[in-house]
Amino acid sequence: MKVLVVGASGRLGTAAANALAERHEVIRASRSGDVEVDLIDTASIQNMFEKVGKVDAVVACTGSVPFKPMADLSEEDFKRGIQDKVLGQVNLVRLGVPYLNDAGSLTLTTGVLAREPINTGIVASLANGALESFVMAVAAELPRGLRINAVSPSVLEEATNYHDYFPGFSRIPAEIVGQAYVKSVDGIQTGRIFSLG
C-alpha cells in the first residue's frame, strides 16, 4: 500500500512512518520535508495531494496547541489551537477523501488529554475531544468503504521534557504508538479511538 504520513518529521510522525514502512511504501510530508505541507493552509493541503496523487492511507501526526492556565488564555489562543490541531486534521480528511483509493483509510492523532486533563492543558483537551467526536461522527458518512480512526496516546516515554506536566501518567514508548498507526491502517475498524495509556 501507499501511505501518506503528514507530520512525519515529528516524534510521533517518525514513529508512525517507521512502523508503517516495514510493510508499506511511505510518503513523508511535513512543513519542511521532501513533500511540504502546512495544515493551516488549505491551498497547501490541496497542493500536497495533487503532488502525491492517489494513496491507500493518510496518517496525520500533527497539531500544536498552547499550554497556559485558563486565566492566561486569550480568544486567539483558542482559535490558534483549534485552527492548527482540529481544523488542520479535519481539512486533511475533507480534502483527502478524493485522493484515497476505495477501501482506504485515514488516521488522525488526538491524545490522552481528551479524557484526562492536566493543568494548562485546556486547549489540548478541547482539541483532542473535538477530533475524537469528529472521527466517530464522520466514519458513518465516508464513501467507497473508506475508514477513519484516531490514535490517542499518553505522554511519550521519549518526550522527557513533558514528563513533569503529566504526573502519574503512563509513559508510552514511541515504538508502541507507531504500532497503533499500523493497526489503524491495516485493520478493519472504523470510527474508533485507539487509546494508549
Mean pLDDT of the 111-139 span: 97
Whole-number pLDDT of residue 33: 79
Average pLDDT of the chain? 96
Task: Annotate 75-132 with three-state secondary structure.
Answer: HHHHHHHHHHHHHHHHHHHHHHHHHEEEEEEEEEECCHHHCCCCCCCHHHHHHHHHHH
Q: How confident is the model at residue 38 (pLDDT cuts 50, 70, 90)?
A: very high
Mean pLDDT of the 131-140 span: 98
What pTM does this model have? 0.96
Any residues with CB less than 8 A from the CB of 90 and at least 6 apart, and which?
Answer: 131, 134
d(CA 140, CA 192): 11
Count the Cβ atoms, other than its own, within 10 Å of residue 1.
Answer: 15
CA 99 to chain centre: 18
Q: pLDDT tens-digit profile of 138-166?
A: 999 999 999 999 999 999 999 999 999 99
Mean pLDDT of the 7-25 span: 96
Whole-number pLDDT of residue 136: 98
Whole-number pLDDT of residue 111: 97
The yes-or-no verdict on residue 32 having pLDDT over 90 is no
Q: How confident is the model at residue 34 (pLDDT cuts 50, 70, 90)?
A: confident
Whole-number pLDDT of residue 37: 97
The yes-or-no verdict on residue 170 having pLDDT over 90 is yes
Whole-number pLDDT of residue 59: 98
CA atoms within 13 A on the CB side of 36: 5
Q: Is 191 left (phi over 0), alpha (psi -120 to 50) or beta?
A: left
